[in-house]
Amino acid sequence: MKDDRAPRAWILCLGLSVLVVAAYAPALGGPFLWDDHVLILDSPLVRGQTSLRAFFASAFWEVNVTEPLARGYYRPLTLLSFALDHALHGTNSAGFHLTNVLLHATNAVLLGVLLTRIGMAPVAGTLAALLWALVPRLTEAVAWISGRTDVLATTFVLAALLVALPRTNAPRRWLAALLVLFGLFAKEVAAAGLCALAALELSRAEARPGPRFRALLPCLAAAFVYAGFRIAAIGVQHAHIDVTLADRLPAGLEALGRYALSLLTPWLTDVQAGRLVAPNLGYAALGGAVLLAAAALLVAKRRSLARPSEPVLVGATLGLVSLALVLHVVPIAVNVTSSDRFLYLPLTGLTLAAAPKLAALLARRSLGLRLVVVLTLLGSFAVATTAHAARWSDEVEFWLATYKRDRDRNGIAVNELGNVYFRAGLHAHAAAIYASFQDVDIANLAGAQSNLALSLQCLGRYAEARTLRLKAVERRPDVARYRFDLALSELDAGNFAEAERQLAEALRLYPRFELARKVRSWIPELRARAARTEPQGTAEDPMAAFHHAAKRARMRDAVAALVRAAKAGRLDGKDADEALHFALRYADPTSTAIVYRAYRAALGGEPPAGIAEAVRQREEAATRLLDRWPELGLSLTLPPLPH
């Protein structure tokens, strides 16, 4: 019988959405962070005006100057969503974050409606969906723009389940399969949704082969269509991970142990946990215990589990399959064993399977106890989620905290914090951070050496930079960018033949490397200039000196020439724009301020708002980073990197 006292459905949905958006409001002020730079800001597909076909013909991670191998990911709808955001908001990250938060709020509403349709009371279903939406472990997927893959895939999976539950027919089967196909185009984990639909259809179909095949046909069609698009775009490939199956087994057990503990400690977060090549035996033992306990439970409850209810069947299939996909049985292109964002769809399935039973158990208790339990969880989840979302909204705070926690186990934290200091123009500090890289993460060691080399160039230590670039190429000869950087150092050393060879190798590895082609065209001019003997004391035009130094990648010399040009009032027109952009990328804060003043004088008025804001943000970041520097306990005297 309908409960007339229950609020209307639209009021519950609106209230649910408002609370979710309010909890994640701090994320709206967040910057582009981490992979966002590659996937959005540096992506020609996202930034360009291109056809719809191009998105479906491209890999998610394209082979480029730093990615010699595709990662085996095919996510055209996620890329398309980034492109739509870029068309609407440009490079304003707030618009991208807003899309993530609204998608998450939509998922909460879809889950609440789904729980109500499978038998939960409207208020109870809405509260269960709200609890799911506020679980702090989901913050990474929502507050990080690149985490949209899991959120968007889940949107389509939940929409498909709403179509399929609690009843189905041929049109609903095909519509549900189509929605899951869209989910697969957002992220591969939506395959768990396809398995859940298949399990549901098999449980409903007659035992004869004919009816079962007809029931499964939409799911099979969706799988074949997805496979066809994927193979046409990226071929038959998977993530290239240099880890054997024997190595992946303990890593999978560790991941299972970490995810199990994550469910028991939902208030905490861990962006990058463990190391794929060095499993933690304690977590692996916990994962083994979880596996044994699950097997024992299946044996003990085999009769009651033989015919589970449809929500339990669908939710359990969704949760278990999506979790299995991130336990490293199937290779995934990560160097860690677990990450919070991978819990997004598994926790959705767990909520769908368990929420009705948990609500029934709570219903047997007093109203006071129910209120205490629900309000305590909601309140603590909301506080923790808002705090974690705020951390994602501050790049400086995020990488400082991650570095201090993970520096000895995760090279990503070292490289990314170093990048933050480098972008602020604090090159000596960035170099010290890159040099603190521990020899525990060989996969990122060449990247740390390359980053350190660039910092040394900005400090005028060109010979040391060349030595590091030789080591980076030795470790990763397949990366076009490292070959290109070494070529620049060889140009500076006057080794023109070797520079040409390295540029040729860079172009062989990545034929679309236009900058390498451009630098190769400079070599005759540089060789001719090196052969000339300039009269001693000849005063070269500072802008000419800048261009020559920049072509040889002598960053400190180029910045010094720009400062001379700025002080002499030699910046005007295109020179002023070029000078400021170079300074913002490679100059220290003091030199940048000098060039910026000359830029404004050359402009004869107020600079564009975007330029002024970029300068302001860089100055603010430099001040904050200098204030926080003592917390890292590093010396500006560089220790040697591991050999």
- What are the DSSP calls for 485-502, one per residue? HHHHHHHHTT-HHHHHHH
pLDDT tens digit string along 404-458? 887 777 778 888 999 999 999 999 999 999 988 765 555 577 788 889 999 999 9
pLDDT tens digit string along 504-555? 999 999 898 999 999 999 999 888 888 875 554 445 788 989 998 998 889 9
Burial category of 547 from C-beta neighbours within 10 Å (exposed 0-12, middle 13-18, buried 19 and up) = middle
Which of the listed CATH numbers 1.10.1200.10, 3.40.50.720, 3.40.190.10, 1.25.40.10 matches domain 396-532+542-632?
Answer: 1.25.40.10
pLDDT tens digit string along 184-239? 999 999 999 999 999 999 888 777 888 888 889 999 999 999 999 999 988 876 65
Contact 279, 321 (CB under 8 A): no
User: Average pLDDT over the chain, rounded to whole?
Assistant: 88
pLDDT tens digit string along 262-300? 999 999 888 778 877 778 889 999 999 999 998 998 888
High-pLDDT (> 90) share of the chain, %: 57
pLDDT tens digit string along 34-88? 889 889 988 888 988 778 899 999 888 877 777 766 677 899 999 999 999 999 9
Residue 239: predicted pLDDT: 57
| pTM confidence score | 0.89
Residue 613: predicted pLDDT: 87
Q: Domain ranges in the chain?
A: 9-392, 396-532+542-632
Residue 261: predicted pLDDT: 94
Statement: residue 241 has pLDDT above 70:
no
What single letter denotes the amino acid at residue 100? N
Contact 252, 232 (CB under 8 A): no
Tally of CB atoms within 10 A around 375: 11
Contact 485, 514 (CB under 8 A): no
How far is Cα of residue 414 from the mean position of the Cα atoms in its chain? 16
| Whole-number Å distance between alpha carbons of 288 and 256 | 8
Contact 39, 54 (CB under 8 A): no
Q: Locate tokens 């690149």: which residue? A: 146
What single letter denotes the amino acid at residue 97? H
Closest CA to 463 of 489, 441, 434, 435: 489
Tally of CB atoms within 10 A around 316: 19
Closest CA to 189 of 334, 323, 36: 323
